[in-house]
Chains A and B, each alone.
Chain A
């Protein structure tokens, strides 16, 4: 008897990957591995480059979340030159960053996730895409989504050149400021975006939460994962995307650690396995306890739901209300329901929109004081931001001419890699019974990793190449019984 399953490539995530599912003698799922099969080498070929060029080079790690790389890199370069950006420059950066958050969270939600919820997890694969979503929710709403994304990206273009590869960011500031005329249209965009963000949450509640089948799916055990959570928080322990301290809470929601990102090497370890190119991060002080959840786990998640779990609340009023409603519905905080990442994502987009609105109303935004030229090379710098998908750390060292000698990067998908493995295994156990698997059920296995929005381009910053995402199902003798490709 030989049996196995493969899906190749795993679609609708940014990058490629592969899942191996092993069955036992009864045909039940015994093990599942999510493999990252690509590396790109940014950490090495950045060596020798002038450190101030890294905010222009590292966004190429990922065209989906280039702004976080640009931002983490710029902050690391600030640190290398021991300089703080001027208040106006910081506002310009945060404006760029919030605009990015909004558009990225919506591209994820509407283009990558909504097909599962709005069109349906077991719908015809040819319909399960953004065009399918648009035909379901109506062209008007579809146009609104596209319009919001476009206008937010216009802000990124203004400040950071090309949205898929922003180039702005200098130590101590930004290369270009904002004029009063620009502030006006930015404010209009921000106002409209706050409105859209509330609308998107309403749509989520009407279409997804109001459907008992979907709500049950969100709350089901197959999509639950009991691990730690990590995210940046401000001085009041509220969610912050741009700066702050890293806070880690345990699976019960108690604070486990609160630390300056510069101390990351003491808290975060990266475990190496022979079967994947990605390094598996874990809480270093707890040691590597393998791919497990629960009391013994040393795994933690990052990203929207993890950030909300790790914080005491949202930084803006409308988002705070939504935050409270979410935890009420999910049965308290912290929540380990993986599919609630989608919900948390929409709440975060609202915070980003509200924050963008505050910045657009701040008269300081148009100040011409956008560079702090008081640079003092200290040769080491660490920059940390919350990328849309989770905590992102850039760590640089240079020689005394500011040429890079060392780079270490920890990206969101790395933190989530081990939890994704466990999530995929749980979902596979929940939905795969024996070798005869329907396409819709396989999609439900893929749905276990889609909430993390695993950005494999990011995760594989180490070497060039790509990740085929396939699902192999293997029998007890480890033979491939099905390579699950979708019909």
Chain B
């Protein structure tokens, strides 16, 4: 054990896909297991939180944390890992920007509860129950954690050293990140451990991207049989390639589906959606008020495209009701 750096892998509010992504290192995971000492990984190993508490502060070399934060327990675990770790890597779109479930910040908690426990067509709730932080069943008190009103990205809760976005991060960048720590090849704090290029720059459809994109009509993905090798924007299909970081290996383009931005904004941009608003506005080919409004209506879901993976880190998320 001695000498091998300790690594913790932990999920917060997460789907488990980032843990699968670590398993996707495949046979390389056996090498990783040789190079580091994985001391905590709830999805795969029988270690409990108190194992973490027993560690000295800073004893863990690296904590790889996936998932967002929406309740007190997640916050506590994040803070505990921070305290025990020299480095924290925000792993995956949820930890980096809040992720898809971050779109929950478009709704209120009350709205969610009303649907789930009252209005959904399969609900049978004659007692009009709601889950409660404390409840009594047969005289026994049971407790549940209470939820925050909204979703937070990891760096809104604790100090984060490095970021590896993606939904999920691909195996090559994952292995690079782990070995960078093992071998002490560390870039400056705050670095995103992914290429500093826009997706368009690495996309193999780039050759067919017009120098100036003009969208006089917007096509939704089901409306057309997209060409498998032409720039989506050139086909009138929304693609976030111009505003999004590369590194995914063009996974979606490879199956003929446009980018939705799981790698987040390019270097130096905090609010991916706001950045893309400017890019998108420039592409919309409309002069007068009516045409502009019509074209925007045709998009159908501006926030869902612009903030698919990053709603919680928008400035607006701090403001909403």
Q: Which residues of A contact B (CB under 8 A)?
A: 7-9, 11-16, 20, 22, 31, 33, 35, 37-45, 47-50, 52-53, 56-57, 60-64, 66, 77, 81, 107, 111-112, 115, 125-126, 128-131, 142-143, 146-147, 149-150, 153, 157-165, 167-168, 170-172, 175-176, 264-265, 268-277, 279, 281-282, 284, 288, 371, 373, 375, 395, 401-403, 408, 410, 443, 455, 457, 462-466, 468, 474, 478, 485-486
B321: interface (CB < 8 Å): no
Complex A-B: 16 CB contacts under 8 Å:
A13-B43, A43-B120, A53-B221, A63-B19, A125-B47, A128-B46, A129-B45, A129-B46, A160-B255, A168-B257, A270-B120, A273-B137, A279-B116, A463-B116, A465-B13, A466-B70
Residues of B close to A41: CB separation below 8 A:
101, 104, 107, 112
Binds A, one of B20-28, B81-89, B182-190, B270-278: B20-28
Residues of A close to B15: CB separation below 8 A:
60-64, 66, 164, 457
For the complex, give the distance between the alpha carbons of A77 and B222 in Å: 10
Which residue of chain A has its CB nearest to the CB of B304?
A: A49
Residues of B close to A163: CB separation below 8 A:
20, 24
Tell me whether A465 and B16 are in contact (CB under 8 A).
Answer: no
For the complex, give the distance between the alpha carbons of A11 and B71 in Å: 19
Partner of B131, one of A8, A42, A274: A274
Tell me whether B142 and A170 are in contact (CB under 8 A).
Answer: no
CB-based closest 9 A-B pairs: A63-B17, A164-B17, A274-B135, A125-B46, A464-B70, A63-B15, A269-B124, A60-B100, A275-B142
The proximity string for B residues 90-109 relative to A, scoring 1 for CB distances below 8 Å and 0 otherwise, is: 00000000011111101101
Within the complex, the shortest CB–CB distance from A179 to chain B, in Å, comes to: 11
Tell me whether B27 and A464 are in contact (CB under 8 A).
Answer: no
Tell me whether A175 and B116 are in contact (CB under 8 A).
Answer: no
Residues of B close to A171: CB separation below 8 A:
222
Residues of B close to A167: CB separation below 8 A:
251-252, 255, 257, 260
Residues of A close to B55: CB separation below 8 A:
none
For the complex, give the distance between the alpha carbons of A208 and B163 in Å: 43
For the complex, give the distance between the alpha carbons of A35 and B121 in Å: 23
Within the complex, the shortest CB–CB distance from B196 to chain A, in Å, comes to: 21
The proximity string for B residues 208-250 relative to A, scoring 1 for CB distances below 8 Å and 0 otherwise, is: 0000000000001110011010000000000000000000100
Q: A49-B301, A63-B19, A464-B151 are in contact. Are A131 and B120 (CB under 8 A)?
A: no
Tell me whether A462 and B301 are in contact (CB under 8 A).
Answer: no
Partner of B71, one of A49, A272, A408, A466: A466
For the complex, give the distance between the alpha carbons of A35 and B301 in Å: 36
Tell me whether B131 and A62 are in contact (CB under 8 A).
Answer: no
Residues of B close to A161: CB separation below 8 A:
251-252, 254-255, 257
Tell me whether A277 and B27 are in contact (CB under 8 A).
Answer: no
Q: A42-B101, A111-B23 are in contact. Are A22 and B48 (CB under 8 A)?
A: no
Within the complex, the shortest CB–CB distance from B147 to chain A, in Å, comes to: 5
Tell me whether A275 and B17 are in contact (CB under 8 A).
Answer: no
Tell me whether A465 and B145 are in contact (CB under 8 A).
Answer: yes
Tell me whether B107 and A22 are in contact (CB under 8 A).
Answer: no
Tell me whether A63 and B222 are in contact (CB under 8 A).
Answer: no
Tell me whether B17 and A276 are in contact (CB under 8 A).
Answer: no
B300: interface (CB < 8 Å): yes
Residues of A close to B63: CB separation below 8 A:
none
Within the complex, the shortest CB–CB distance from A455 to chain B, in Å, comes to: 8
Residues of B close to A465: CB separation below 8 A:
13, 70-71, 74, 145, 147
B132: interface (CB < 8 Å): yes
For the complex, give the distance between the alpha carbons of A485 and B49 in Å: 8
Tell me whether B46 and A126 are in contact (CB under 8 A).
Answer: yes
Within the complex, the shortest CB–CB distance from A296 to chain B, in Å, comes to: 17
Tell me whether B20 and A275 are in contact (CB under 8 A).
Answer: no
Residues of A close to B308: CB separation below 8 A:
57
Question: B27, B46, B131, B140: which has the most chain A beta carbons within 10 Å?
Answer: B46
B139: interface (CB < 8 Å): yes
Q: A44-B111, A52-B221, A466-B11 are in contact. Are A486 and B48 (CB under 8 A)?
A: yes
Tell me whether B26 and A150 are in contact (CB under 8 A).
Answer: yes
Tell me whether B170 and A35 are in contact (CB under 8 A).
Answer: no
For the complex, give the distance between the alpha carbons of A463 and B26 in Å: 31
17 extra interface residue pairs, beta carbon distance < 8 Å, beyond A162-B167, A273-B135: A8-B48, A11-B47, A40-B13, A40-B104, A43-B112, A149-B23, A162-B251, A164-B167, A175-B226, A269-B123, A271-B124, A275-B142, A276-B131, A402-B220, A443-B46, A463-B116, A465-B145
For the complex, give the distance between the alpha carbons of A147 and B228 in Å: 30
Which residue of chain A has its CB nearest to the CB of B15?
A: A63
For the complex, give the distance between the alpha carbons of A39 and B19 in Å: 19
Within the complex, the shortest CB–CB distance from B224 to chain A, in Å, comes to: 9
Partner of B168, one of A42, A160, A165: A165
For the complex, give the distance between the alpha carbons of A401 and B294 in Å: 13
Tell me whether B251 and A269 are in contact (CB under 8 A).
Answer: no
Which residue of chain B has its CB nearest to the CB of A9?
A: B42
Partner of A485, one of B50, B125, B228: B50
Q: A42-B101, A264-B122, A463-B112 are in contact. Are A111 and B44 (CB under 8 A)?
A: yes
Tell me whether B24 and A164 are in contact (CB under 8 A).
Answer: yes
Residues of B close to A403: CB separation below 8 A:
300-301
Residues of B close to A408: CB separation below 8 A:
120-122
Tell me whether B20 and A12 are in contact (CB under 8 A).
Answer: no
Which residue of chain B has its CB nearest to the CB of A267?
A: B122
Q: A40-B104, A42-B101 are in contact. Are A274 and B44 (CB under 8 A)?
A: no
B288: interface (CB < 8 Å): no
For the complex, give the distance between the alpha carbons of A39 and B220 in Å: 30
B175: interface (CB < 8 Å): no
Within the complex, the shortest CB–CB distance from B171 to chain A, in Å, comes to: 10
Tell me whether B137 and A33 are in contact (CB under 8 A).
Answer: yes
For the complex, give the distance between the alpha carbons of A466 and B70 in Å: 8
For the complex, give the distance between the alpha carbons of A6 and B301 in Å: 45
Within the complex, the shortest CB–CB distance from A262 to chain B, in Å, comes to: 12
Partner of B135, one of A56, A275, A371: A275
Residues of A close to B67: CB separation below 8 A:
466
Residues of A close to B116: CB separation below 8 A:
39, 43, 279, 462-463
B73: interface (CB < 8 Å): yes
Residues of A close to B320: CB separation below 8 A:
none
Tell me whether B48 and A164 are in contact (CB under 8 A).
Answer: no
B202: interface (CB < 8 Å): no
Question: B20, B49, B109, B135: which has the most chain A beta carbons within 10 Å?
Answer: B20
Residues of B close to A485: CB separation below 8 A:
48-50
Within the complex, the shortest CB–CB distance from A403 to chain B, in Å, comes to: 6
Question: A16, A142, A270, A463: which has the most chain B beta carbons within 10 Å?
Answer: A463
Within the complex, the shortest CB–CB distance from B261 to chain A, in Å, comes to: 11
